[in-house]
Structure 1
């Protein structure tokens, strides 16, 4: 089963008891826009997941990044409220860039769910196909789902500092201008983690914001994996500004059939909270 689902397949599944839809539209420029868009019209049955309220934890100034991972207990309560359990089929969508959807997808996988897919093309593809919308707020029967987060898929700033001095690939999902330190519209310090490579998440897709084929994505990311004599993979570490668009690169690697890379959840916005951590600029 592909991690992506096309709009026609989702349309056939609407109304299935085991299906849950999550609308993850969000704008960093206008934090209220996604919720308003949801209320103006969404795919029938979808609940709304706010990046900052539902898909992130509490910011600790000077310690965490802008979108730290949610507290597992609180996130479990949110999944229960949405009626999600081990047997639920979850489909996540956003505006069509797949960035917010990828963050939600990653968190659900982190929470141990095994049937999570991303709507290919997102809300835009659904609308373009002329499929139905509703303003009705979805109500779900609560579940009792509990999970143990998979921290093996994450690394800390200390881990990254050590890895940056070794040979492990460190992939920055931001655009080249931010990576190089020539432009920084969000964070107070510009640049990147020393040793990181600029692998913009936008280059996982074509001009229509559709993911490239698994073969193309394999060719893009396979070089960042290395195999030791034991046969074990050295897996790349993904980061971005705050741990959101890095998940887009992770989704692309999984679409390519590559092993799970690790996520540095704090990403650049956490890295720069400690002035002792090194900063690099330039291409």
Structure 2
């Protein structure tokens, strides 16, 4: 009887896991592991692998996945002549960049980095912004660490790819907001349908550390949810869906979420995390803290709370 009950219990447990797993897999179907990528390299002639490193020279000095094309995160993923430079690039500029990487409309694109997917999250978000077929875009969970567990990197230069022919769409207006929208919706009108999230580290949010900025602090009304807390610092893999749910528990899923950071990378990781949890309306603050801080006259709050005394009333 005990053995029978144990078998029934195990069967029920397996059934419950099978019922839960698809929901988690559906939310994270853009994440792949090294085994998946190794197999795809062997069989997929339309595969394009893109690497973005925090220190770009390591593409050459440390090495890269064989066949990977280098992404220079500042030059390739921002509007180079804008202020700040990490506003999103124009469709024409980004399309030209993608074509130089050999990307066509039917390319399967695998992205990886050495920064817990924060760098390639920006690339993923930009591809979605301009209407690429996101079912063909994957992110290597664990990045270089995940790959080098059982595979090697190469320092041999990747041959210049054949020019691609990808055609992008105009940017999706439902994915971007400007500083004026934040000032109107959050600082001024306190729109209850909008939640503003600062994805930077806590010491930058509260103003104790000033880095990559003129001023310390945050935009009035912003909650601080550090997107990199949703990844494991050693393995650089994503934490569980339950861990991410706990991180974002204070944000109802029916709200519109505005996200910002300094340069657009950590907010992009937050974007992916929220979307994986089922949030439908998540938008980037174009230019992020660099745009708000650089204006010099826009209000800021220092401390650990969204509002200070001037803005709490």
Say whether the 8 Å CA contact 1:214–1:257 is kept in structure 2: no
Q: Distance in 1 between matches of 2:240 and 2:207?
A: 31
Picking from 119, 127, 137, the partner of 2:148 is: 127
Equivalence for 2:19: none
Within a 5 Å distance, the mapping from 1:34-49 to structure 2 comes to 34=56, 36-40=57-61, 41-49=63-71
Q: Rg larger in 1 or in 2?
A: 2
1:178-223 CA distances to partner (integer Å, 9 max, x unpaired)? 0001111210111100000111112111343221122332343354
Q: Distance in 2 between matches of 1:66 and 1:282?
A: 27
Q: TM-score, normalised by structure 2?
A: 0.80
Aligned length: 267
Equivalence for 2:104: 85
Equivalence for 1:240: 261
Equivalence for 2:78: 56
Picking from 144, 166, 170, the partner of 2:191 is: 166
Say whether the 8 Å CA contact 1:178–1:191 is kept in structure 2: yes
Structure showing the higher helix proportion among its residues: 2
- Give the superposition deviation at 1:23: 0.5
Equivalence for 1:30: none
CA RMSD for the aligned pairs? Answer: 1.8
Equivalence for 1:216: 243
- Give the superposition deviation at 1:158: 0.5
1:219-266 CA distances to partner (integer Å, 9 max, x unpaired)? 433542353xxxxxx321110012221001111112223324101021
Q: Does 1:153 align with 2:172?
A: no
Picking from 190, 197, 205, the partner of 2:223 is: 197
Say whether the 8 Å CA contact 2:227–2:270 is kept in structure 1: yes
- Give the superposition deviation at 1:11: 0.8
Picking from 56, 81, 84, the partner of 1:65 is: 84
1:60-93 CA distances to partner (integer Å, 9 max, x unpaired)? 3xxx334111121011011112121221111111
| Residues 1:235 and 1:50: Cα distance change in structure 2 (over 3 Å) | same
Stretches of structure 1 that go unaligned for 5 or more consecutive residues are: 27-32, 228-233
Say whether the 8 Å CA contact 2:225–2:248 is kept in structure 1: no
Q: TM-score, normalised by structure 1?
A: 0.88
Equivalence for 1:23: 51
Say whether the 8 Å CA contact 1:157–1:264 is kept in structure 2: yes
- Give the superposition deviation at 1:157: 0.6
